[in-house]
Chain A
Amino acid sequence: MTRELRGVPAAPGAAVGAPWIHPPAGTGGAARLSLDEAAEAAAVEIAELGARLRARGHEAEAEILDAQGLMAGDPELIDPARALVEAGSPPADAIHEAGERVARTFEALDDEILSARASDVRDVAARIIRLMAGEAPPRLERRSVVVALDLPPSVTVELDPELLAGIALEGGTRTSHAAILSRSLGIPAVVGVAGLRDAAGTAAALGLDGDAGVVVVDPDADATARLASAADAAGERARADAAFGERPLATSDGHRVICAANIGDPVEAAAAFAAGAEAIGLFRTEFAFAGRGTAPDEETQARAYATVLRAAGDADVVVRLVDIGGDKPLPFLAIEPEANPFLGVRAIRLHERHPDLLPIQARAILRASLETGRRASIMAPMVADEADLDLVLRLVDEARTAVPDAPAPRVGIMVEVPSAVLLADRLAPRLEFMSIGTNDLTQYLLAADRSNSALAARQDPLHPAVLRAVASVVEASERACGSCEVAVCGEMAGDPVGAQLLIGLDVDELSMEPRSFGAVKRAVAARTHAELVALAEAAQGMSSPAAVRASVETPA
């Protein structure tokens, strides 16, 4: 009988397949190994899987496998297991128990990163047990929905991607490794589904809707048809998009725009370039400040920034000065509680009360630039007027005096405060680039709080007012003889409809999450530049974002 289980949407798309429960029951098929042989074989398997992840650009997950490879032969795991065997325990129980002991020590340390590593240890122990038992690696026989409490990266990458239709997890969150990896591999996933494994154990088929966060147990003909057609459509879209991944971002008549990536962590840089990024258009630096008791020093920051500059080679990297405020307070920055942190003391406005924060960061960026020999672009968030710009330029000058041998940085600002739009003609001649942050610009322009879901419909960047704001920034830059490039780094740039309008408005660069590259490139390549200019022109005279979207999706 069909029934639905609710979970948390983790990766978009739909799937129907046979349930495949991890870990699977043994089937044999390989030679039994001793504890030592199995530990060694596990290290070899893990190294191979790590290389596979790295080749696909999943550096963060590959690093987990690097550490797991060392764990497989680690004396802290193997020695206690041997001692248990000598005391009469069956070898499989011994390694299981030894792994559990280590995992529990990690969990007891009350450290979020380390607790996550506990599951890595259990995963390694399970692999050694499998190899000792002479079990072949897990294999899917047909199109399957993988069901587990949690799915380690080592298993996700081990399964045949052609047969791995979807992932449903009883545990996990949207930000767990399994969820992140399934999103970046394009596998539909739902996590946090209570009662999933019991239900799946007796099911003949499972359906999964990764957008709605629903698992359908034994879907009936209607549900199967609905999910299958959604899966087909999504699969077709993904294949068509993927075919565009390597191409330049250009209209059908060859009008080119820079395709750049937004990243929030240095380890994402390599994957962004592997996915076809021509530049990093927005490198958010909040990662260096979050989760710390003290402010990160210059050297720590410089090392992190250098990683990205190195991965970029000759490509441009726009490092955004830290944008923090009362919505995400940090222990080392005393920020008074504010009634409305988005209109409060945030980003460069913190300089008055925390005069070391931005100078240290600016020097760290230049030191990273000096160390790698690569020019960096420095971008200041929340610049509202020329007084703010004076401050930013002074900070950069002072940093250049402190690090005189660093390559001269490009300097730019985020355009997100409406006053900066109105003053763009005053700001542009003094800048090398402006990057429009359409998420914040939309909330400020339409006075609609981004964190208030009741106003969600008012936060659409396709609003004619936002389009007009973009047009006026582009015009200001053109009047500054085009010496100031205009980019867009909000979510609008990664929406195929938004991207078409922005190119019609003549922006120079679109910066987005790398997973959007294919869809955006495909949409843009279907039209000429003149068509996009006409669509953008007409859109500025429409009455609502919905009308704008419809006009681009199905033009009259």
Chain B
Amino acid sequence: MAEAEVEVRNPSGLHARPAATFVRAAGGFGAEITVTNLTRDAERSANAKSVLGVMGLGVASGHRIRITGAGDDADAAVSHLVELVASGLGDALDAS
């Protein structure tokens, strides 16, 4: 069981491509990973491997999210995803 919180800072939040980038990264881990949008509704969580689930959290720029993992590689998964979000989801703004 691993857990961490991070603020989403890329301008469009976890919509469309940034959400897709996040979900693809989560899909690379065996652990069960969930995301919660603490700013909007701390009671509702979504499967981090579902783009519809993640988008449905309505994460906008400036929102805080919690990432929770359970399973063998949960620690690695959570720390990787937190870093990815903190860095603006890698190429989230890259048009190339």
Does B52 contact A311, Cβ atoms closer than 8 Å? no
Query: Is A113 within 8 A of B11, CB to CB?
Result: no
Known A292-B61, A307-B95; contact A71-B12, beta-carbon cutoff 8 A? no
Residue in A109, A294, A303 whose beta carbon sits within 8 Å of that of B93 in the complex: A303
Q: Which of B10, B11, B47 has the most chain A CB within a 10 Å cutoff?
A: B11
B window 22-72: CB within 8 A of A: 23-24, 40, 46-47, 49-53, 55-56, 58, 60-62
Interface segment out of the listed A127-135, A189-197, A266-274, A488-496:
A266-274
**Nearest CB in chain B to that of A296: its residue:** B11
CB-CB under 8 A from A360, the residues of chain B are none
Known: A67-B19, A70-B20, A117-B16. A304 touches B51 (CB 8 A): no
Interface residue A323 (Cβ < 8 Å from any Cβ of B): no
- Knowing A76-B50, A307-B95 touch, does A67 contact B16 (C-beta < 8 A)? yes
Known contacts A70-B20, A70-B23, A293-B62, A113 near B15 by CB under 8 Å: yes
**Closest CB-CB distance, A55 to chain B, in whole Å?**
14
Specify the main secondary structure of chain A where it touches its partner. Answer: helix
Question: What is the bound-complex CA distance between A74 and B40, given in angstroms?
Answer: 23
Contact with B along A69-87 (1 / 0, CB 8 A): 0110011110000000000
**Interface bits A288-303 vs B (CB < 8 Å: 1, else 0):** 1000111011011001
Closest CB in chain A relative to B68 CB, distance in Å:
17
- Residues of chain A at interface, number, CB under 8 A: 41
Q: How far is the CB of A315 from chain B (nearest CB, A)?
A: 13
Check if A297 sits within 8 Å of B58, measured CB to CB.
Answer: no
What is the bound-complex CA distance between A106 and B57, given in angstroms?
Answer: 8
B93 touches A266 (CB 8 A): yes
B95 touches A311 (CB 8 A): yes
A66 to B17, CA, bound (A): 7
B residues in contact with A297, CB < 8 Å: 9
Contacts of A74 on B, CB cut-off 8 Å? 50-53
On chain B, the residues within 8 Å of A109 by CB distance are 40, 56, 58
Taking a contact as CB atoms under 8 Å apart, the answer to whether A303 and B95 are in contact is no
A304 and B61 CA atoms in complex are apart in Å by 14
Note all chain A residues with C-beta closer than 8 A to B12. Answer: 113
Q: Are B96 and A311 within 8 A (Cβ)?
A: yes
Interface contact B96-A111, CB-CB below 8 Å: no
A307 to B94 alpha-carbon distance, docked (Å):
5
Set B52, B61, B88: member contacting A121, Cβ < 8 A: B52
Interchain CA distance A66-B20 in the complex, whole Å:
7
A310 interface residue (CB < 8 Å to B): yes
- Give CA–CA (A288, B16) in the complex, Å: 17
CA–CA, A321 and B21, complex, Å: 30
A residues 436-474 near B (Cβ < 8 Å) are none
**Given A66-B17, A67-B20, is A292 in contact with B11 using a C-beta cutoff of 8 Å?**
yes
CB pair B95–A105 under 8 Å, yes or no, is no
Contact: B62 with A75, CB < 8 Å?
no
Tell whether, in the assembled complex, residue A75 and residue B88 are in contact, meaning their CB atoms are under 8 Å apart. no
Question: 4 additional contacts, CB 8 Å, given A67-B19, A113-B12, A303-B92?
Answer: A71-B51, A77-B52, A117-B15, A299-B88
> Would you give 6 A-B contacts (Cβ < 8 Å), ordered by A?
A59-B95, A114-B55, A292-B62, A300-B10, A303-B92, A310-B95
